[in-house]
Amino acid sequence: MTRSDDLESALSETSSDDSPAPVKRKRGRPAIVTGEQICETALEMGVATITMTSVASRLGVNHATLYRYVVSRDDLVRQAIDLAIQRTDFPEPSTADWRQFLWDTAAALTGMLDRYPGIATELAGGTFTHQVLRRGAEMMAGLVALGFEPNKAVLAMEFVTDLVVDHVRKTEQLDGRVPSQSMPSRDKLAEDWSDPADPEEPSLSEIIAAGRAAIGVEPHEWLESKLRIMISGIAEEIAPH
């Protein structure tokens, strides 16, 4: 599979520098917030680690104010994820073949998850929202329009989205953008992946060296390699012919 633009180039088109600006308020007047500002703040802080109190503190309001717009911390996380999806430009299938459609969808999803750390961790943990389900249905409908049988469209959609979500989750935890009690840093992982004590296993040493090298590969480049293999497998097994 060949393309003039790699995943890094596609991501540059889907990413944006317009991070949510802090809420500005006049001194001496009661703080006023909106539901959208609350969700923006949750996205800015990282939805995997927020609490109602921490979001309220960032906004300069009492945490009870938040309950006018959300019923719980989990509800706030879901609404924030929905806002992120609504603000992301996902591709339409009408002007692409199915390979390009899957590739562009993966790039758009990766860009969104990179822009809003914590969403990948939440999605990997089983958080589903209205917009997540709607976006998945729209992606599957796009694949059907491009010739996939419905059940195979489901498989292709899950393959690609699961790969992207899991990859970004591990990356953001390895890089410390999302705290994790179980995931070490890249340097610590490479350090702990030591050579075998048995000198009679040189082949294992070579494999470990290759694993250490993989840890240092630029994350988007590594994801691109995995996507190419996956799309080739989809073409071989379930794509329309």
With respect to residue 23, please indicate whether it lies within any of the assigned structural domains: no
pLDDT digits 0-9 by tens, 55-101 = 999 999 998 999 999 999 999 999 999 999 999 999 988 767 999 99
The dihedral built from the CA positions of residue 153, 114, 87 and 73, taken in this order, carries a sign that is: positive
Q: Which domain holds residue 53?
A: 35-84
Is there a domain that residue 127 lies in? Answer: yes
- Give every CB contact of residue 177 below 8 A, 6+ residues apart in sequence: 46, 117
Q: In which element (H, E) is residue 151 found?
A: helix 150-174
Residues of the chain with pLDDT under 70: 1-31, 95, 195-202
Residue 102 to residue 147: CA distance in whole angstroms? 13
Q: What is the CATH number of the domain that holds 54?
A: 1.10.10.60
Task: Let me know if residue 30 belongs to a domain.
Answer: no
The string of DSSP letters for 156-223 reads: HHHHHHHHHHHHHHHHHHHTTSS--SSPPPHHHHHHHSPPPS-TT-HHHHHHHHHHHHHHTS-HHHHH
**Does residue 189 sit in the same domain as residue 112?**
yes
78 and 105 together in one domain: no
Shared domain for 61 and 158, answered yes or no, is: no
Establish if 28 belongs to a structural domain. no
Q: How far apart are CA 119 and CA 125, in angstroms?
A: 10
- What is the number of structural domains in the chain? 2
**Is 95 inside any structural domain?**
yes
Residues 146 and 66 in one domain: no
In a domain, 1, yes or no: no
Residue 165 domain-assigned?
yes
What is the reported pLDDT for 195?
A: 65
Q: What is the pTM of this model?
A: 0.82
| 95 and 201 both lie in a single domain | yes
- Tell me, what's the pLDDT at 231? 97
Residues 99 and 47 in one domain: no
* 145 in any annotated domain: yes
